[in-house]
Amino acid sequence: METFITDKVQDNAIDALSKVIAVPSYCEDAKENAPFGPGPKKALDTVLEVAQSIGNTTHEDPEGYYGYAEIGEGDQIFGLVCHMDVVPAGNIDAWNTEPFKMIEKDGKLYGRGTQDDKGPSVASLFAVKAIMDAGYTFNKKIRFIFGTDEETLWRCLAQYNKKETPIDMGIAPDAEFPLIYAEKGLQQSYLVGPGSNELNLNIVDAFNAVPGKAVYNGPKQEEVFAALQNHKFDADKIDGGIEIHGNSVHAMNAPEGTNAVVRLGIALSDVFPDINILQFLKKFGEDANATNLLGDVSDDVSGKLTFNISSLEINSERSRVQIDMRIPVKIDHDTLIKQVSDAVESFGMKYENFDYVAPLYVPTDTKLVKTLMSAYQDVTGDTESKPAISGGATFARTMNNCVAFGAMLPTTPDFMHQANENWSRADMRKAMEIIAEAVYRLCV
C-alpha cells in the first residue's frame, strides 16, 4: 500500500487551512450575491482560490450559494461534500487563542472550523492533490462541493441540487471514521391545540435539544409542586416559582436525557385536567421513543424512532409544543406523519410541519461502503470498528450514493462547536492518508 501523504503535503495543507480559518464565516444577514452574509461568501472564495492554485478547475454559483472544484476525467462524478460556514466563536473569554487566527501549539491546530468542517475540507483537497503528485490520473471527475450554510438550513445545497449534475457516489468528511451509512430522517414540527384562560406559559427551547430545565411561575404553585413530588420529579422552589431539573442531551439521543418540559407538563396535567395539551403530555409520558403515543416505530437498520418535545406554550389563543423526530430509515415518512396526526387529533390538536430532511441509507454491501471500509481498515489497522448509523445529519444525505466518511478518528476528542476547537496534526495526517487511499481505490 502506497503512502501518499508526506510532511510537505501536510505542511502545504496547513498553510492553506490557516487562510480559510482566518475568515469568520458564520451566517449573517444576506448581501448581494452573499445569501448568508459576507463571511461564508469570502470563505467560499478563499477555498476555491486554494483549490485552483493546486490544479483544480472551479465554479462558483453566481448567487453565492455554493461553489465546487473539480479535477479528473470520466463520465462519473465522485463528490466530496464539504462546508465553509462555521458556528460563531461564542464566549471569546473561553478561548485561549484567537478563534479566527489558526495557531499551532503542542501539535494541535487551534481555530474555529479546524474540526468542523474547514480542516477536513482542506485536508481532503490536499489528499487528492497527493495522489496526482504521485503520478496517477483519475478515471472519474472528482468534485469538491463547498456549501455555505450547513450550520443553519442547508439552503446552499438545495440550490446546488437544483442547478448541477448529481454525483454518482461520494463522501462527506464531516463526521467520524470509519463511516456512517445510515442517518435517520429529521422531522421538526409543531403540535397545536386550543388555548386556555387557566394558564399562560411560554417555555421554548431549541428543537434539537432535550430541555434540561423548565421554570414554572404560574398559578397553583403549591399543587403543582406537590404533583412534581408525587411523580418523584426533581424540582426546587425558587423566588416566584418552581424550577424543574432534567438532563439535556442532543435530540438524536433523546431517550438518554431527562426532559424537564415534559415532566412539568405531566405534573400540570394533574392540576389542570381540562387543558388538552397537558393531557397529551400525560399520555406521551417520558418515553422519548413515543411508544405510548404511536406504538413501536423502528426498523432493522437504524433502530427506534426518537421523539423530542422541547417547548410548551399555552395562552388564551392556542397551545403548542414543538417536536423533533429522528425517523428510522425504512419507515415511510408520510405514513408516520398521518399516524402522529391521528394520535394527537383525539386531544383536539393538529400537526403542523416546520422542516424535513430526508434520511440517508447506503447498504453496507455496496461497492462504496466496502471500499471505504477496506481503505480505513488497511490504513489504521482498526478491524473492530463497524459502519455506523446516526440520528444526526450531514450533507451526505443531500447527495446520491453518499456517506459520511471521517474526518475525525474514533479516538479524536470532539471540539466541534466548542471553545478552543482544535485538531491535532497527527490526527489530520492520518485522516489525509485514509481519504487519499479511499479516493485512490475508487477513482484511479
Cell of 364: 453496507
Q: Is 187 within 8 Å of 444 (Cβ atoms)?
A: no
Nearest residue to 237 via CA among 260, 264, 217:
217
DSSP string, 131-198: HHHTT---SSEEEEEEES-TTTT-HHHHHHHHHSPPPSEEEE-SEESS-EEEE-EEEEEEEEEE--SS
Cell of 30: 444576506
pLDDT at 2: 86
Domains (ranges, CATH) in the chain? 7-184+360-443 (3.40.630.10), 185-357 (3.30.70.360)
Nearest residue to 110 via CA among 14, 27, 34, 216:
14
> What distance in Å separates the CA atoms of residue 390 and residue 229, rounded to the nearest whole number?
36
pLDDT at 391: 86
Provide the CB-side half-sphere exposure for 123 (13 A, CA): 31
Consecutive 10-residue runs of the chain (444 residues): their mean pLDDT? 94 98 97 97 98 98 98 97 96 96 98 98 98 97 98 95 97 97 96 97 92 96 98 96 95 95 98 98 97 97 96 98 97 98 97 94 97 98 95 92 97 94 98 98 98
Cell of 301: 437498520
pLDDT at 371: 98
> What distance in Å separates the CA atoms of residue 154 and residue 36, rounded to the nearest whole number?
11
Cell of 49: 482560490
pLDDT at 312: 98
